[in-house]
Structure 1
Amino acid sequence: MQSPPKCPPLGKFAVGWIAALQSEYLAAKQVLDFEYTQPAFDLSLSGGNVYTFGRIGEHHVVIATLGRYGTLPAAAVLNGLQKNFPFLQFVLMVGVAGGVPTGADDVRLGDVVVANRMVPYSVNKKCPNAEQFNGVVVIPEDNLLSAATKVRAMIEEDTVDLENIIIERFVKNRRIQDKFRRPEDRSDRLYQPNYEHTSDRDCDCLQDTSRVPAKLVIRPERKQYDRIKVHCGAIGSADCVVKDAMERDRLAHQFKLLCFDMESAGLMANFPCLPIRGICDYSDSHKNKGWQGYAAATAAAFALSLLHVVPHQNWQAAGHNIDAEALRQHIKQVFDGVMRVISPGGEGETLTLEGARQALDEIRDTVHKLDQLSETRTQELKETTQSALDKKAADIDQAKSRLNQIETEQNHMRKLLEELCGKIAQQHEKSPQEEREKWDTVHDEAQKNSTWLKERTESTTAALESTAEMLGNVGSLTNNSEIRKTSNHVNGAIGMAKCATTTTAASIPGALLGSGTKGMCYPSTSSYFHTSLTVTSFTVTELYRKRTQHDLDPSIFVVVIIRTLLSPNLKSSPIRENRTATSPQALPS
């Protein structure tokens, strides 16, 4: 039997999948393209949930389960996902729900409901004569709804077949096949609202065939290709199970609902989430679990199809809104996890080759995120330097502060890499001769990463120093005290950053950062910024000289400065290549 692939760094997981019931969790596992091994870093030690890691298409997916039903447990699980995986882009709530069979939608058992809005129907306020709804209706993200619309169209065109997905994916063993097999259609019985469940043994809903056909709602037989219908509409969510047909119909009429669940209200208020529900009963007193497995399977099959349609996005597309506290927590987890791998606590335990590789992967992914964010923050600093010419020092203060935080984290990661290099070297000496070549390879890779990170940190510092120099020159030439003051602020940031280099790695956290890419050589945006600002400083001096000679209009002077700052022609070479000096642009005569 083929062993599962190694889990990638935790920062790469961008899709969350929440399952409340065991059957929902099992269904989720069946539709994974493959399930990863458990990572070296045990997130449960930091108060997190127990997670399952896998991949669907291009998406790395983390599955979380609930310990119990309800909106509060769902909210707690989402909070853990956000804390442990700060680069999550959205969450799918995939599972079963009680359907609303009234109206033109003709919702039946085994159908799928995709929520285009969530109504917390139990949130009411007391009024003199009655209760009045006081909840907030939440609408999922447009990109998720758009993807759901595309999948529904693909189902109509027969390019997606949910039943075939279930047949192909739910085949691990006979138990799985039986659990998620579609029940016979004759067991899908919809009773009149006034016909209530009588007892657990004698009720008509428990018989092989109905004995009271007059109590059934007559519905036309569906075509074979229409056995699973996918509906898109409102879902009602509250901390209670609807088991009353009269109440079901009242709520459905008031809020135009298609189904009911107990978790969505705890998820959708503060994070992008799409509920996908398979219908397992009709929200009446005749509840039973006969359709629960199949309903969980149809919902999971639709979620699988959805993830094949939703494009995999780089974290930077949504990264600016990532919670800073969650990022700091992520860095702390990386640090704690690496330290647990480097220094196992058990008696006689030593660093393993696999543990060293996993620690190196995790550090490298974090470093890549720092590097990507450094590029983003450097561009912000470059753009807000222009604002300083208009006496808007606050923007550049904020931008340089972010860059300073990145430099601090780069130093933390460098120290962690150095410690890992030392541990690997020690383990190399202890290992048998036949294993030393493997340890040499890991050590060389760690050392290469450490050297590269040192260069990147120095480039970030250079960007800050060049910013201060350029602003000082502009402030002096234009006699602008606000720009000179901003230059002093940036110089202060440089001093803080240099002090941070003496801080031990244990002082983490600070502010993290984004999704990694393969390879270790990057065009250095910080070095590019360093070069462009140095050239700009020279250019400003020459411009000011020409202004005094030719009596240029001040507005033209400022425009040319800004164009020089934003010039795409100022470039630098990648790290570890010989850099060539960039010549200033030709100045206007």
Structure 2
Amino acid sequence: MFKVLDFKLLGLLRTIEICALVNVEEREESRSYLHAAKGCLYLHMTLQKFQDQATDITATNLLQKAIYEEIVRNLELVVNPQSSEQKRGESISGLPVTKKLSISSQTDHDSRQILPYRAIKPPAGKTSRPTSRDEFRLAILCVLPLEYKAVSFLFDEFWDDDYRSADGDPNKYTTGRIGRFNVVLVLLPNVGKVSAASTSACLRSSFPGVILVFVTGICSAVPNPGTDEELLLDDVVIGKNIAQYDLGRQYPDRFAMRDNVGDALGRPPKKLRNLLAIFETVIGRGRLERTIATYLQEIQKKSAGGKHPSEAKYQYPGALQDKLFQASYRHKHYLSPHCICKEGHEGELSMSVCEESRQLSCKELGCDDEHLLWRERIEEKRQLENEGRSSEAQAPSIFVGSIGSGDTAINSGEHRDMIAETHDLLAFESEAAGVWDEFPCCIVVKAACDYADSHRNDIWQDFAAATAASATKALLERYFNSNALC
């Protein structure tokens, strides 16, 4: 009886020892060891999965396939990841399978818990090609095609493999590598929080390993965000908090935003809060701004040297195109004497403006530059341009703070200032709230393309999109590593 107990105790101790070794390997990022160990434990489940997926395959081949995929291949990755991938392809192609097999290094029941393996850390700027959707850890979401295109220019490599998506997921994904990161790039089908939330939920379903999401693109800026600092077009705004400014109740005299605890979006994780705090320091901001400027020039060179240089839209529009009118000065007909635009008094919120004027430029309407506000930073940029230092003039500044997210676009300087002052906002956009709720580890990176007033135009959109994309890559390369994204 005691001998039986001794054997049982010895077996238990051996099991504990093996588990401890597996935990050590996991902490040291030796994922292949962990996967091989789990492959031994769950080999029977893998056999059943392969048997269900394939017909016309012998029991011997089935067993060989399961052992290789779940155990041997993971151990080979320790020695030579590239040769392992080549052997894997030869092994798969050599089997007499009539159905296409869905092969993964993980079993279905634990695919959300196991982190992707990294047998040998790749050299700086390089990473291995993912073998399945579960190995992607990072995603970038864009709402406009021009934002999506700008981010695409910063990919170092696109993966040709079609990783597909989960059943019921209508999203289309682009996958590739930015530096040492495997990235999923997503273009939202529509503008707004609902579309962003739906797309984010599907993203989580298809890529369960994603833990960090960037919402990258353009925004409408608050030119004087409660400080003496001037926020210009093309400056970068990084979201510290998200306020849903159009969620509330409309009273006869005012709109009251809901501020119940249950309605508020949660705070980002501590690591992100610490990171954002760095960018509120002079040193942290300066370093990031210099890196952004470098990547912005990279986009400009790539786009100008492409097959279709006429499509290159990432040149700096110039400080003279950065125009900020007085908040009360309306975008309306000033040259047409017979128009409803002439009715009412300047400065009245209810003053009538004809529909046609909303589609015309300031030049066509006769908006008077006498109502432009003087800004010191604009003068500094003009001086740099005059000295032939355009690369310095186009370099953006960084602002960290609250971003307003809503389905209602702000096209009024007066309303912009009232809402921004009430909720301490730096900018307005339309998707972040939908993503933030689904992915707590979310960084909103936007570049200003207009001032949320009636004089807004599209001149700055492409350039601002390129700046936001550059800021996203700068954040990744400087402040994150592939082992601990969030």
Task: Please give the alpha-carbon distance, in whole angstroms, between the structure 1 residues aligned to 2:217 and 2:399.
Answer: 15
- Change in Cα spacing, 1:154 to 1:213, as seen in structure 2 (3 Å) is same
Residue type matched to 2:144 in 1? Answer: L
Deviation by residue 1:349-406 (Cα, 9 ceiling, x = unmatched): xxxxxxxxxxxxxxxxxxxxxxxxxxxxxxxxxxxxxxxxxxxxxxxxxxxxxxxxxx
- Which of the residues 17, 25, 35 maps onto 2:148? 25
Of residues 318, 341, 345, the one that matches 1:184 is 318
Please, which of 359, 363, 373 is the counterpart of residue 217 of structure 1? 373
Match of 1:580 in 2: none
Q: 1:136 maps to what in 2?
A: 264
1:301-320 equivalence runs, <5 A: 301-312=470-481, 314=483
The residue that corresponds to 1:282 in the other structure is 451
Separation in 1, partners of 2:288, 2:445? 20
Report if the CA contact (8 A) 1:112-1:298 is conserved: yes
Tell me what 2:214 maps to: 92
Counterpart amino acid of 2:294? N
Q: Any idea what SS the aligned residue of 1:64 has? A: strand
**1:294 Cα deviation (Å)?**
0.6
How many Å apart are 1:99 and its aligned residue?
A: 0.5
Of 42, 47, 51, the match for 2:169? 47
Q: Which residue of 2 aligns with 1:426?
A: none
Counterpart among 292, 299, 305 of residue 468 in structure 2: 299
1:35 aligns with 2:191: no
Higher relative contact order (CA 8 A, sep 6+): 2
In 2, the alpha carbon distance for the partners of 1:159 and 1:70 equals 29
Q: Which is worse superposed, 274-283 or 50-59? A: 50-59
Note closer, same or farther for the CA distance 1:37–1:94 as it changes in structure 2 (3 Å cut).
Answer: same
Match of 2:477, SS state, is: helix
2:231 corresponds to: 107
**Which AA in structure 2 matches 1:89?**
I
Query: Aligned in 2, Cα 1:126/1:213: closer, same or farther, shift over 3 Å?
Result: closer
Classify the secondary structure of the residue corresponding to 2:427.
Answer: strand
Tell me the secondary structure at the aligned position of residue 117 of structure 1. Answer: strand
| Deviation of 1:16 (Å) | 1.1
- Among all aligned residue pairs of Structure 1 and Structure 2, give the percentage whose two residues are the same amino acid: 26
User: Please, what TM-score do these two structures have when normalized by structure 1?
Assistant: 0.49
1:176 positional shift: 7.4
Say whether 1:195 aligns with 2:329: yes
Structure 1 counterpart SS, 2:267? coil
1:166 Cα offset (Å): 1.7
What is the distance in 2 between the residues matched to 1:309 and 1:92? 15
Larger deviation: 258-267 or 132-141?
132-141
1:154 & 1:259 partners in 2: Cα distance? 21
Are the structure 2 counterparts of residues 304 and 206 from structure 1 closer, same or farther at C-alpha, using a change threshold of 3 Å?
A: farther
Distance 1:136 1:257 in 2: 15
CA distance in 2, matches of 1:159, 1:215: 31
2:148 aligned partner, one-letter code: Y
1:255 pairs with one of 423, 438, 456: 423
Give 1 or 2: higher helix fraction: 1
After TM superposition, the structure 1 stretch with the greater mean CA deviation from structure 2, 225-234 or 248-257, is 225-234
What CA distance in whole angstroms lies between the structure 2 residues aligned with 1:126 and 1:202? 31
> Please, which moves more after superposition, 116-125 or 292-301?
116-125
SS at match of 2:233: coil
Task: Count residues with an aligned counterpart.
Answer: 311
Is 2:332 the counterpart of 1:163? no
Q: 2:243 — aligned with what?
A: 119
Residues 57 and 148 (structure 1), Cα distance of their counterparts in 2 relative to 1, 3 Å cut:
farther
Structure 1 residues 6 and 116: CA distance shift in structure 2, 3 A: closer
Task: Give 1:279 deviation, angstroms.
Answer: 0.3
1:56 aligns with 2:178: yes
* C-alpha distance in 1 between matches for 2:211 and 2:253: 44
One-letter amino acid matched to 1:144: L
Q: Distance in 1 between matches of 2:318 and 2:453?
A: 20
Q: Residues 262 and 218 from structure 1, CA distance in 2 versus in 1: closer, same or farther, beyond 3 angstroms?
A: same
Q: Distance in 2 between matches of 1:70 and 1:239?
A: 5
Residue by residue over 1:111-151, the C-alpha shift from the partner in whole angstroms, topping out at 9 and shown as x without a partner, is 11001111011111467975432141543333234445556
CA contact (8 A) 2:331 2:367 kept: no
1:231 counterpart = 2:365:
no
In the TM superposition, what is the alpha-carbon distance from 1:194 to its structure 2 partner? 1.5
Counterpart Cα distance in 1 of 2:460 and 2:131: 36
In 1, Cα distance between equivalents of 2:271 and 2:363: 41
The offset of 1:287, in angstroms, is 1.6
Q: TM-score, normalised by structure 2?
A: 0.58
Q: Give the distance between the partners of 2:191 and 2:422, measured in 1 at CA.
A: 25
Q: How many angstroms apart in 1 are the aligned matches of 2:287 and 2:313?
A: 29
Q: 1:143 to 1:22 in 2, by over 3 A?
A: same
* 1:399-478 → structure 2 map (5 Å cutoff): none
CA RMSD of aligned residues (A): 2.9
- CA positional deviation for 1:22: 0.4
Question: Structure 1: any 5+ residue segments left out of the alignment?
Answer: 319-589
Q: 1:78 maps to what in 2?
A: 200
